[in-house]
Amino acid sequence: MKDSIGIVISNEYLSDRYYKIRLKCDEIAATIKEGQFVLFRCSDGNDPLLRRPFSVYRYFPEKGELEFAYLLKGRGTELMTRLKEGDQVKILGPLGNYFQIDQDTKGIAVLGRGVGIASVAVLAESAALEGLYSLAVLSGRNKESIIGRDFLEEAGCEVIGINDQDQNSGVENIRSILVSKIKEGLIQQLYSCGSNRMGRLVKELSEEYNLDSYISFEEYMACGIGVCKGCTCKTNDGYKTVCHDGPIFSIKEVEL
């Protein structure tokens, strides 16, 4: 696998330390799927040494363009905020497996917490554009940390934003929302990223209502291709690497 060159189209601040970068990269935009990720080289030198993994936030194969949402957190992402229109970045991908929706599914719900929203937003958008019922339950520290609402609602998703500041992001409230939609027959599959707390809820609901559901894990990655074994998660079949075997796993196979 070789590096692709992404040309920066825009790099903008969203809110609450969140940014969104849009790249022109025909070869990756043509093949990437919902839930997959790429590895960014954040500088031309060795500072930082390791690449940074980012799930695709949105992609536009007809234009050859990709979007990634990221949280300003350390040296790598601080360098990313300096990128401007016309700059070139090396990206490796697409990597990992991807979200799939069963053929007979009529509706889905995605749960995203913090920057984990970036991993599931494109799935919610795609489902709505295909005519499925699509619910996005997005959670964060405050209202400003909820990203993606505008384009998801435009695509036809039902978006529910909850946050710690308003004290409505507890598991019981999320459970109440989901159970109501499940009992209405609107949801047959659940997808989660960004919080083990929400992952455990998805696992419980999947067992209770016999739903085929999935979780995408966020982990620090060194190699991104399963060689270094630095990003493992525990499953019913032993430890697996998030970057190579995942990042998406059936909720039934993982231990949370």
Rounded CA separation 91/66 (Å)? 11
| Tokens found for residue 219 | 């982990």
Among 49, 54, 101, residue whose Cα is nearest residue 247 = 54
Domain made up of 4-94: CATH architecture: Beta Barrel (2.40)
What pLDDT tens digit does each residue of the chain (256 aa) get? 679 999 999 999 998 899 999 999 999 999 999 999 999 998 887 778 888 999 999 999 999 999 999 999 999 999 999 999 999 999 999 999 999 999 999 999 999 998 899 999 999 999 999 999 999 999 999 999 999 999 999 999 999 999 999 999 999 999 999 999 999 999 999 999 988 899 999 999 999 999 999 999 988 888 888 888 889 999 999 999 999 999 999 999 998 8
Three-state secondary structure call for residue 176: helix
Three-state secondary structure call for residue 113: strand
Q: What is the predicted pLDDT for the residue at 43?
A: 80
CATH class of the structural domain 107-250 = alpha beta
Is residue 129 within 8 A of residue 121, CB to CB? The reply is no
- Domain ranges (residues) in the chain: 4-94, 107-250
User: Would 4-94 and 107-250 be classified into the same CATH topology?
Assistant: no
Give whole-number Cα distances, 193 to 13, 35, 75, 228, 241, in Å.
22, 10, 24, 23, 16
Nearest 10 degrees: Cα torsion 97, 93, 53, 152: -70
Element (H, E) at 190: strand 189-193
Is residue 195 within 8 A of residue 185, CB to CB? The reply is no
Is residue 104 within 8 A of residue 211, CB to CB? The reply is no
